[in-house]
Amino acid sequence: MNRLDKKFSELRMISRKGFVLYLTAGDPSMPDCFRIVSRLEKAGVDILELGIPFSDPLADGPTIQKASSRSLKQHTSVQDVFNLVKKLRNEKIEIPVVIFTYYNPVLKYGPDRFVSDCADRGVDGVLILDLPPEEAGDYVVMASGKNIKTIFLITPTTPEKRVKDIVKISTGFVYCVSRTGVTGARKNLSGEAPAIVKKIRKYTDLPVAVGFGISTPEHVRKAAGYCDAVVVGSAAVKKIEDNIGKKDIDGIMARYISSLTRELKAVEK
């Protein structure tokens, strides 16, 4: 069983919502990144969303743009990201890993080679931000053949007919974008997300994860009330930015993330 399937099955058994954490691979450095991600399971993270740094991240706000820039200045490559995942698996860390990327790095690397290396290194799913589902047929077939989950976005502006089409080729889980615009921490949680989740659930039994703008313990607690998993990204990436150069950056991040993941206990049934 794919690690994502197994994780959501485990969460259903204990009636708990999942916590997905996004980090940019290689930020603030590859050694620091490994130290941070190696502590995520104990900090309560259920799924790691690992971003491949890219020079033109169209869906990302300033915080993740800067993280990508920091990583690219160190020449982080797609192969380096795969090696990071492989190192986690060599250390017997079994947290499900979803690669978050744009299509340009995949195309340059070679889609077939990319999917094969995902499987060989221990990646469980891929979310390609700018690959339209209508153009994803060949990629979906390749990924399915390697048991790599294909995760797609549904946004507040996605027409209902397109929601039906997207969930047909989605596996692992469906990513619900809670608000229009780019990624980034927000003061207030979007009021649009519950309705979007409800619309998605009309057409699929897949777990629904909600992200974009979730940044505080209160946000985590509220969002967990209507979805299957909560995604935190920019807030965690900003925490890294604020602590670059500190020897205990992995400990700082572990404590910070624990303050978010413990909120999910409040929605256990």
Catalytic residues: 49, 60
Contact, 48 vs 21, CB < 8 A? yes
Contact, 100 vs 50, CB < 8 A? yes
Contact, 232 vs 20, CB < 8 A? yes
H-only helix segments in the chain: 3-13, 30-37, 62-73, 78-90, 103-109, 111-121, 137-145, 160-169, 193-201, 217-223, 234-242, 249-261
174 bridge partner residues: 208
Instruction: Tell me whether the omega of the peptide bond preceding residue 28 falls within 30 degrees of 0, making it cis.
Output: yes
How many CB atoms are closer than 10 A to CB 39? 18
Q: Give the type of residue at 236.
A: A
- How does strand 208-211 pair with strand 174-177? parallel
Cβ-proximal residues to 135 (8 Å cutoff; 6+ apart), any chain: none
Residues 143 and 150: their CA atoms lie apart, in Å, by: 7
R_g (Cα) of the chain, nearest Å: 17
